Structure 1
Amino acid sequence: MFQKGVLAGRRVIELGSMIAAPFATHILDELGAEVIKIEPPEGETTRHLVRGGPSGTFIAYNRGKKSLCLNLQAEDGQAAFRRLVAGADVVLHNLSPGAARKLGVTYEACAALNPKIVFCHIRGYGAGPMQEEIASNPIAEAATGVMFSNRVNGRPSRLGPSYLDQFAGCYAVIAVLAALLEEGGGVGRRNIAFGLYETGLHIAARDLVGVQLKSHLLGRPETEPSPEFAIPGYGAYETREGRWVYIVMLSDEHWRRFCRAVEVEADADLATLRDRRRSRDRVEALVRDAVRRWDYGALSEALSAAGVGHTEVLSADRVLEAPQAREPRKFSDVPFADYGFQAPDFPVPACRDTEPFGPPPRLGEQTREVLAGLGYGAAQIDAMIAAGAAVAARTDTPLWAKATGGDLS
């Protein structure tokens, strides 16, 4: 028997691109909401990033949504959007402030159509002197201290995944759920606006406070020398057969357990974290050499038996093969065009809609369906499509260009 999600019966309108807003509505979709993704005639950006077709981002975070393709700069497209807002529960977007005003996607415009609407705008920056500026995930990383310590060949560099985009999506979901819980709440709850920059500040709070602490104790600001914790023996080490294990050693007890597990003597002069920090190079060499004497399987068993936190450092193509990912299964099969994908699910099953999710939509795949549900007749819909105010899906063209020499561009 399938379980309906906690947001079953709620309608969410998304005007999203790239990650932050689509990630937020992906979670709302998994919680049972109906998500209608409004896209411009050319489709949202992630539809065209890999060989002219959808990227992994699009497939992972847009499955199960409905695509309504409207030209919001056309009068008929705007009329359809307004009709949709009037019967929705949530509008969520990450348009730039200028584009949002130009297209009428503001709280004031939407609340005039539907006073109960919950409106969420994920911006580059929240209120302040930069609130009109555009910011993306790496810009927020640079502005909030994350990038300064993450360097490749000495050059400040972005992290791999777009974590601040995804954290912003999670914060948006929290805010939307809070507004939906407080029915009859004031505008302050229902008009949600915040930035990737503010998201980055909150995520960086530990490090920002840590610098202040060192200033108090040392008399000078001092950041960590790298993104890695400044604790010797804490990090990735290579095993005998060339696999990598990540080991966590935060405490003196962790150190003693590690030494027992890998069968090395726990020297008395390395008993405390302060001792080990003073002898960083020696500790690193000891751990590196000890790990290199083991194959990963035997080492993992020994570390587990000793209670040492660790895991293999896996490449992305191996992650979903791990027993923990498969038993019980923590991902769904996602068919798309002529291909099959496996996409991880929202990690709290008790809240999730367990009905099977559909594939990501083709651009405009549900345009006719949604417009008909808004009261448009078939002739009206045909006229809107003919005039370019709306676009319906084409299924006669391939989504991706064929491979040529391994080039994904």
Structure 2
Amino acid sequence: MAENRHGALVGLRMIEMGQLIAGPFCGQLMADHGAEVIKIELPGQGDPMRQWGQGKPVWFPVVGRNKKCITLNLRSAKGQDIVRRLLKNADFLLENFRPGTLEKWNLSYEELRAINKGLIMVRVSGFGQTGPYAGRAGYGSIGEAMGGMRYLAGDPSTPPSRIGLSIGDSLAATFACLGALMALHRRHVTAEGQVVDAAIYESVLAVMESTVPEYTEAGLIRERTGSILPKIAPSNVYPCTDGEILIGANQDSVWSRLADTMGRPELAVDPRYADHAARGEHQEELDALISEWTRGFKTADLLVLLDAGGVPAGKIYRADDMLADPQFTAREALVKVAHPEFSNLVMQSVFPKLSETPGEIAWPGPMIGAHNEEIYGGLLGMSNTEMEALREEGVI
């Protein structure tokens, strides 16, 4: 297993507790860029993500990549003592338990700060560490609903939809990572850590654009609009002979180029479509007009034509489309990763790309407890006898 890590965060250590996505995706982002992330899992059980994945359980190789996995029973007094030893020389503690859990285990920030004043505690939860809902169980789906995203997802003719991904969890983890790096910068000034409190519903709310001020200022509540943005035209999914294509040509100059590409330059100066406001008012008929044109093309041929005309467009990709696309290949957006069980494991690469300190996928999510010997015997200096006794007691 690779040890000579690369990336902007080499030299930083994070202890990751918790499971599923909302916390561990933050750990993945840190580990992707070189941080040493030591993931703690309950002996004999591990993260449920180890069993997740449609078709085959291939989710943990992604979310657990670049991490060092150890087993430790945090509910035991000895387990709590061991984690304190780990945190003495850690930069971050990442957890996504229900608020109050760490305090119950005598691992509150106040207690941990006493042994490491520079420790940054990154806490991810459904509703945050304070407020009347703090103690509630909170999943990403609930955060998406309360943050306003679910109401806007889907077609107006159907109930609110899931977008097909655990986006609430991933947003919360991303904001947690952002907060961790903000706190790290502040520590450079003060030498002191702090708590990063990332709530799922607030992380969703953060990307909800102007939906709230639209209501407070104009009394408007946004509704589900399916594949369009109301009054923003043309920007929609259009039919081809062998599929669909997304075209975004709502800016005046781009619309003019689309009209030229269609062989209908007169449309660009037609009073019904000549400017942004007019196109918005005639959005439905404009989409119908464009659809009539696109129906005569195969998606590949139309993409070439639109690209030549300087019109933003793209096929709606699935995994097989991504694997065949030369842009993905040129930038190594997808990479094949060696795995002892899965022979053709391809996953998304490390993003964003840094010019001088690029991250890497050094290894996929490892087996449960794969790094017990390295961390307990090496980092903490435990003897084989001591480790064996802890195993027998169910501590590690």
- Asked if TM exceeds 0.5, the reply is yes
| 1:155 aligned counterpart, secondary structure | coil
Which of these residues, 281, 284, 290, is aligned with residue 281 of structure 1? 284
Q: What is the count of residue pairs matched by the alignment?
A: 382
Q: Please give the alpha-carbon distance, in whole angstroms, between the structure 2 residues aligned to 1:177 and 1:239.
A: 45
| 1:329 aligned counterpart, secondary structure | coil
Q: Please give the alpha-carbon distance, in whole angstroms, between the structure 1 residues aligned to 2:55 and 2:73.
A: 21
Mark the CA change 1:269 to 1:9 in structure 2 (over 3 Å): closer, same or farther: closer
Q: Please give the alpha-carbon distance, in whole angstroms, between the structure 2 residues aligned to 1:52 and 1:269.
A: 50
| 2:363 aligned counterpart, secondary structure | coil
| 2:311 aligned counterpart, secondary structure | coil
Q: Please give the alpha-carbon distance, in whole angstroms, between the structure 1 residues aligned to 2:143 and 2:197.
A: 16
Task: Give how far 1:359 is off.
Answer: 2.1
* Cα deviation 1:324-357 (Å, max 9, x = unaligned): 1110312332222321312222222336555651
Mark the CA change 1:235 to 1:81 in structure 2 (over 3 Å): closer, same or farther: same
2:369 counterpart of 1:367: no
Residue of structure 2 in register with 1:74 after alignment: 76
2:261 counterpart of 1:261: yes
Matched to 1:156, the amino acid is P
Residue of structure 1 in register with 2:137 after alignment: 134
Task: Give how far 1:68 is off.
Answer: 0.8
Q: Please give the alpha-carbon distance, in whole angstroms, between the structure 2 residues aligned to 1:376 and 1:106.
A: 25
* Cα deviation 1:232-286 (Å, max 9, x = unaligned): 431111212x222111122232222112112235144322233333333321210
Q: Is the 8 A contact 2:233 2:283 kept in 1?
A: yes
Residue of structure 1 in register with 2:163 after alignment: 159
Q: Is the 8 A contact 1:262 1:302 kept in 2?
A: no
Mark the CA change 1:321 to 1:272 in structure 2 (over 3 Å): closer, same or farther: same
Task: Give how far 1:83 is off.
Answer: 1.0
Matched to 1:81, the amino acid is V
2:347 counterpart of 1:343: yes
Residue of structure 2 in register with 1:26 after alignment: 28
* Cα deviation 1:33-80 (Å, max 9, x = unaligned): 111000112111211234897442x22121111111111112322221
Matched to 2:374, the amino acid is E
Q: Is the 8 A contact 1:31 1:351 kept in 2?
A: no
1:6-25 correspondence to structure 2 within 5 Å = 6-25=8-27
Task: Give how far 1:174 is off.
Answer: 1.9
Q: Is the 8 A contact 1:333 1:342 kept in 2?
A: yes
Q: Please give the alpha-carbon distance, in whole angstroms, between the structure 2 residues aligned to 1:222 and 1:183.
A: 41
Residue of structure 1 in register with 2:236 after alignment: 235
Which of these residues, 372, 383, 387, is aligned with residue 381 of structure 1? 387
| Root-mean-square deviation over aligned CA pairs | 2.4
Indicate the larger mover: 285-294 or 247-256: 247-256
Q: Please give the alpha-carbon distance, in whole angstroms, between the structure 2 residues aligned to 1:224 and 1:273.
A: 21
Q: Is the 8 A contact 2:70 2:369 kept in 1?
A: yes
Residue of structure 1 in register with 2:220 after alignment: 221
Q: Please give the alpha-carbon distance, in whole angstroms, between the structure 1 residues aligned to 2:122 and 2:361.
A: 27
Matched to 2:380, the amino acid is L
| 1:156 aligned counterpart, secondary structure | coil
Residue of structure 2 in register with 1:191 after alignment: 195
Q: Please give the alpha-carbon distance, in whole angstroms, between the structure 1 residues aligned to 2:295 and 2:21.
A: 40
2:182 counterpart of 1:181: no
Q: Is the 8 A contact 1:14 1:35 kept in 2?
A: yes
| 1:91 aligned counterpart, secondary structure | strand
Mark the CA change 1:182 to 1:244 in structure 2 (over 3 Å): closer, same or farther: same
Which of these residues, 113, 118, 128, is aligned with residue 120 of structure 2? 118
Mark the CA change 1:356 to 1:233 in structure 2 (over 3 Å): closer, same or farther: closer
Q: Please give the alpha-carbon distance, in whole angstroms, between the structure 2 residues aligned to 1:320 and 1:19.
A: 25
| 1:113 aligned counterpart, secondary structure | coil
Task: Give how far 1:312 is off.
Answer: 0.7
| 2:308 aligned counterpart, secondary structure | helix
4+ runs deviating over 4 angstroms? 50-53, 184-189, 351-356
Q: Please give the alpha-carbon distance, in whole angstroms, between the structure 2 residues aligned to 1:275 and 1:180.
A: 49
| 2:272 aligned counterpart, secondary structure | helix
Q: Please give the alpha-carbon distance, in whole angstroms, between the structure 2 residues aligned to 1:189 and 1:38.
A: 21
* Cα deviation 1:130-160 (Å, max 9, x = unaligned): 2222222111111122111224652122222
Task: Give how far 1:165 is off.
Answer: 1.9
Q: Please give the alpha-carbon distance, in whole angstroms, between the structure 1 residues aligned to 2:147 and 2:191.
A: 29
2:63 counterpart of 1:94: no
* Cα deviation 1:77-134 (Å, max 9, x = unaligned): 2221111111211111111113232334431232122121111101111232222222
Matched to 1:235, the amino acid is N
Residue of structure 2 in register with 1:200 after alignment: 204
Residue of structure 1 in register with 2:172 after alignment: 168
